[in-house]
Structure 1
Amino acid sequence: MTVAHNLDAARAALVMINPAPYNAEAPPEALAGNITPTELHYVRSNFAVPAHDGTLEIGGAVGHPTVLTLDDLRAMPAHEHTVTLECAGNGRLDMRPLPTGEPWGDYAVSTARWKGALLHEVLAKVEPSAQGVEILTQGADHGPYHLQAILPDTDQENLTFIRSLPLSLATDPASGILIAYEMNGEPVGSDHGAPFRLIVPHWYAVASVKWLKRIDVLTEPYTGEFQTGHYMYEWPDRPHEAVTLMRVRARITDPAPGSIIGSGAYTVRGKAWSGTGPITRVDVSVTGEGDWQPAQLEPSRSGYHWQAWTFDWEPSHVGRHTLRVRATDAAGNVQPDVPQWNRLGYGNNAIEVIYVDRR
């Protein structure tokens, strides 16, 4: 069986938005459970699936440069985290005027169980310099960039996916950052970064570099196309800001938008997540006005993944009803009523509004 056939089979249940490089949303049912099945997990790539020789080089400002293999990573203590990953462009289609970028709807978000070695334990082996400020993380993926490069002097015909993270975050045991080699109990697949990738809890998924090939400790901040060009909030009325932590957000998973429901009680269900703290409150409005009623919220376990919520509702009359949902996190962040527009269309966490018809 060819690699192409395997990829086609793995992608069959997804909602493709771009065939090359392959990008696809999860189907709506992917948000129903606590864990997204691998075949339903959304896929975000800037380049085609690359070849990878199975090694990870670690260098830069370190005392002991090294090269690790998959077996080396598996020989280290294994840790498993359930992590919600969301594309920074999720919900871009709901912004007006429409920003540039991949036309993501609302399903570029998924939750999986990731297993691997803790990044801070890997870095401890190479002894980062006291002068280090960031780590550079480079994927094996590269090629022509299908979106226009923003930074000058960028080789748009052969660009490599490179990102950086603060060294203080990378070396913090509490960060939970993994070099993951398993996803939902199986080896990480090609679309998701095989043979290993970063998983950075709380951050938008751009930080979770796939097909990880090299890590360098830097003594100066990194500037590059995917760090200070794209993946920046280009606000119309204030200074630009880097895309980092996921914004607080809640989604309705049942009923589906435009559903027809019967008389009697109905349990509205959904998920909520944030990169700036566990969700502490979810409220639902069924009037189209400002009266919010509290939903029942599943408590946070690790803080790395979405929380389920439910709301018991009995429609008062036959006809059309609106449903709105709003989440609040432990840092006090609350979803806005409308998207905060920025030129590249990142971070849309506006309150979701759907309608259903009662017959």
Structure 2
Amino acid sequence: MKKKRFSTLGILNKKLCRQTLSGWKQFLSIIAMGGIAMTLFVGLLSNAQSLSRRVETFYQEGNLPSIWVLTKEHESNLGEEFKLAGILDEEDQTETRFQIYAKVNSSSCYGAIVSQRPTLSKPVEMIEDESPGGSDFFYIDKGISAADGTVKDPELNTGKIVALTYRIFDYMPGLSNMLEALSESNPEYFISAAKKNELFQGSLIVHAKITGIMTFPENIQSARYNNSTYLMSKSVFLSSFHEALGDYFSEEGRTLIESYLGIDLEEAPSPNTFPQDNELLVKLKDSSTEEAKCAAIKSYFADHETFGENNLWQLLNRSLNPWSSAVDTEVLE
């Protein structure tokens, strides 16, 4: 009787079949896990792409700038200067505003003070608006408003009068010297010693009424470590500033301060009137020129130093803005 011979390959195949049949549950589990992982990956990728598209649409609707140029001191017609110097093209859009750090009640914010309703970095949607189309407005972002009950401060809502605290000397260093001289020559111009001390600590508290709730392209990232930006007309800023000075100075003192600062409530606000604009917004026609134009802007300020002082404070693009980079990180993650 002949012995049956099995090839090595046959033995291995039989062993493979036996092990596969005995462990079919584990085998199917591995296949299922792979399928779930692939489904999860495709879902996350789709969500990231969808988020990226929504963000870009939000930026487009708000006409978000490509470049933000912040200066230490006001420079008149800076956008036109850049175009004349060949730094920007005629098709590039420019607009200026005054940016200032502030506290709205207890919320840290940035104020965007504008001479007229903006066309760059404009509200995407007005949720509430007491002054539609008007020249006097103070809009806060939905992210810090109390309209949807998401914050603890019920005063951050349309129609509410809020306290705004400005570190005024950070933006007007000459005012500090002027007040010191005034304190020595005419101490009676100050309402009280307490108010004088408050001013000399650098804080000026003003009050203004919120006229609307908006969604704003610079507030797309609502994380607590990113300060919200509010939008205020220069006329409202001036009125609140004028009223606040009456809390610190006598009528003679207020008149003197306003004369020093060039405040004229009868004059139509412009980028050159108090507070003078310190930020230029640039929307490039061709985004591929951004790097070269940023380098040219830096060179411009380096070539136009006054007494060795470079007037450029910050030069930012979307990727360098904290709120924008946070969104980019979320999309990547």
The TM-score normalised by the length of structure 2 is 0.28
Q: Which has the larger radius of gyration?
A: 2
Q: Which structure features the higher share of strand residues? A: 1
